[in-house]
Amino acid sequence: MKKGYLGVDVGSISTKGVIIDSDNNIIAEDYLWTEGNPVVAVKQLLKNLLVKTRNKDLLVVAVGTTGSARKLVGTILNAQVIKNEITAQAIGTLELYPEVRTIFEIGGQDSKIILIENGIIVDYAMNTLCAAGTGSFLSSQAKRLGMHPEDFGKWAIRSKKPTKIAARCTVFAESDLVHKAQIGHKKEDIIAGLCRSVVLNFLNNVGKGKNIKPPIVFQGGVSKNIGVVKAFADITGEEIKVHKYGHLTGAFGVALLAKRANDEHCFDFNFVNMHFETKGIECMKCPNNCEIICVYKNNKIIDSWGNRCDNGAVLKQ
């Protein structure tokens, strides 16, 4: 029976998962919406992956998690590795592009830039709380235009004269978009302008002051938008590499880290039939008054975190 390694990336918008083999090949992958419930999303993800590997004589022996819900999901999956998105994205990208120097990543609600020298992360930055220029921003603009976000790229590359759209703020961008449509700008020009505004927002905010060097790899869900890819190439003057698994790089990277951990034990897909619940409990045992997150499996506590002193540690019992 072949060994497999599972990587799960749980973000605020989407949940991604891959299973790799001993040669680091992705043999199963899935991508779905988190919809505000990471546990339910991961259960569905694992059901889908199980179907895709049913006839492959495979045994998953290590698990890694990343993304905004990595701690919660890592706890319930009993993961060997729980890593931040920066590390996971970099590891996954380096496996696909060993010579990469700059990584652009734009997801549903966040974006990041990672700078690499000789295979080592030397600098990085992420967007602020504002989601302007991310996947959710593009989705909201697509809805306003009565389009599907996946069609944006096809329209954008038709444009000969992209419309200038303010993208520093989602509210300003929406009002600017409506105004330009009302005064007769072509739809393809408006869409191309939105794609350019996403890139300019990224470079002027997330990438501000960064020493961007080729090779440049663009990943995350927005990398599937060929209009944004073209805008990055036009504005930077560099070739922008996009891998077919670019939207799965975080999951791929943490699967690689799980494999490298050399701590193998059989993963039980029966997780999908177990009941999990999280509760926020106020400790009230000292002036910190910490909110401690407790995770229960089949009504039994399996882990908790959030305490800033030992008083709250008793909740782990």
DSSP secondary structure string, 126-153? E--S--TTSHHHHHHHHHHTT--GGGHH
Give the H or E element holding residue 178.
helix 170-182
Residue type, 78: N
pLDDT tens digits for 8-36? 999 878 899 999 999 999 999 999 988 88
Q: Answer yes or no: is pLDDT of 126 > 60.
A: yes
Per-residue b or e along 280-313, where b marks 16 or more CB atoms closer than 10 Å to that residue's CB: eeebeeeeeebebbbbbbeeeeebbbebeeeebe
How much is the average pLDDT of 241-263? 95
Q: Where are the alpha helices (DSSP H) in 183-276?
A: 187-201, 226-236, 249-260
Integer Cα distance of 11 and 250 in angstroms: 10
Asked if the model's pLDDT at residue 163 lies above 90, the reply is no
Q: Where exactly are the structural domains of the chain?
A: 2-90+251-273, 98-242, 276-316
The fold of the 2-90+251-273 domain, in CATH, is Nucleotidyltransferase; domain 5 (3.30.420)
Same fold, 2-90+251-273 and 98-242: yes
Q: What is the pLDDT of residues 169-218, one digit of tens each?
A: 666 666 777 777 777 778 788 888 888 888 888 898 889 999 999 999 99
The pLDDT of residue 291 is 84
> Cα-flanking dihedrals φ and ψ of residue 10, to 5°?
-110, 105
The residues facing 154 across adjacent strands are none
Q: Predicted confidence band at 316 (pLDDT cuts at 50, 70, 90)?
A: very low
> 50-59: per-residue pLDDT in tens?
999 988 889 9
Please state the separation of Cα 152 from the chain's center in Å.
20
Name which CATH class applies to 98-242.
alpha beta
pLDDT reading at 296 higher than 80: yes
Q: Are 165 and 197 in contact (CB under 8 A)?
A: yes
pLDDT of residue 169: 62
Token pair of 66 as six digits: 């990343």
Mean pLDDT over the full length of the chain: 86
Q: Per-residue pLDDT for 314 more than 60?
A: no
Predicted confidence at residue 263, as pLDDT, reads 93
From 248, 246, 247, select the one nearest 18 (Cα to Cα): 248
Q: Is residue 284's pLDDT more than 60?
A: yes
Q: Which of 150-164, 250-264, 272-286 has the highest mean pLDDT?
A: 250-264
